[in-house]
Amino acid sequence: MAACIFLIETSSKVCSLAVVENGKPVFERTDGGQSSHSAVSGVFAQEALRFLAGKKPDAIAVSEGPGSYTGLRIGVSLAKGLCYGLDVPLIAVPTLKIIANSAVLNLQLSGIALNPSDILIPMIDARRMEVYTAVYASDLTEIEAAKPVIVDEQSFSNLPAGKKLFFGDGSDKCKTVIDLPDARFIEGVNPSAIAMAALAEEQFAAGDFVDVAYFEPFYLKEFQATSPKNKVFNS
């Protein structure tokens, strides 16, 4: 189904917005972490709306998490505001699936074809040796749902036979820990608005929307604020 979809990805240090129309990207802006998401996301959104020149998108799609607590809040708030202002539905796309699709697109650009037995394992960095991860087949069918994992040498050893591709900002710290002969690590894979496009279009065609009023980011774990080490008390 042909559609014009406004895409918002703010779950990591990279902030990106894009518009796809009839399956093709027509607008894209990306900030690699030089500025705060709160500073650039609104500017990017205004540029995208000016680009559309009064044409209303068919839906707004946002990366739902897991990821940066602050980044997710900013992205979802922006997406909700646009949905209310434009009176269009909201699509929530799983962040780990976006990262998996980003890896697929990167491999395709490099001329590398996936085998049907290949297994995709995106990782988002959490504390110490913990990551947020999910497991997908080469066609992005979900094998294991998103969950937090404390990585050790036995992690992912229960998966089916096949080359296991690890990527995302949580994968680097796992290279020397995961002891699997068929493990491969891919560098430079991040979530992006463009990597959301095909996934958002699938959800749009299926009518897979979320309630704008009640939708909240998928944090996977509750946010834990840290207290300053040196507390100052007034007498």
Exposure class string for 56-75: b at 16+ Cβ within 10 A, else e: ebbbbbbbbbbbbbebbbbb
pLDDT-derived band at 32 (thresholds 50, 70, 90) equals confident
What's the pLDDT at 33?
A: 72
pLDDT in the model for residue 225:
45
On whether the CB atoms of residues 45 and 28 are closer than 8 A, the answer is no
Q: Judge whether residue 36 has pLDDT over 70.
A: yes
Percentage of the chain beyond pLDDT 70 is: 93
Q: Which of 106, 78, 86 is nearest to 4 (CA)?
A: 86
Mean pLDDT on 131-158: 95
In this model, does residue 235 exceed pLDDT 60? no
What pTM value is reported for the model?
Answer: 0.92
**Both structure tokens of 102:** 């980003």
Look at residue 223 and tell me if it is in a domain: no
69 and 117 in a single domain? The answer is: no
Residue bearing tokens 């940066």: 68
| Domain span holding position 156 | 95-185
224 domain-assigned: no
Question: What gap in Å lies between CA 104 and CA 87, rounded to an integer?
Answer: 33
Residue 232 forms part of a structural domain: no
Helix (H, G, I), strand (E, B) or coil at 132: strand
Q: Is the pLDDT of residue 40 over 80?
A: yes
What percent of the chain has pLDDT above 90?
84
Does the CA dihedral 134-135-138-140 come out positive or negative?
Answer: negative
- Residues 196, 81 share a domain: yes
pLDDT at 194 over 60: yes
Could you tell me if 112 and 155 lie in one domain?
yes
pLDDT of the residue at 71: 95
CATH of the domain at 167: 3.30.420
CA distance 144 to 133: 9
122 and 140 belong to one structural domain:
yes
| Cα angle for residues 49, 209, 31 (degrees, 5° grid) | 40
pLDDT at 93 over 90: yes
Q: What is the pLDDT averaged over residues 90-104?
A: 98
pLDDT for 1: 61
Average pLDDT over residues 52-66: 96
Residues 6+ apart with CB under 8 A from 134: 94, 96, 97, 100, 121, 122, 142, 144, 145, 146, 147
Answer yes or no: is 158 within a domain. yes
Instruction: State how far the Cα of 73 lies from the Cα of 111, in Å rounded to an integer.
Output: 36
Do 103 and 36 reside in the same domain of the chain?
no
* DSSP SS3 for 119: strand
pLDDT(233) > 80:
no
Q: Residue ranges of the alpha helices (H) in the chain?
A: 37-52, 69-86, 95-109, 193-205
Does one domain contain both 135 and 79?
no
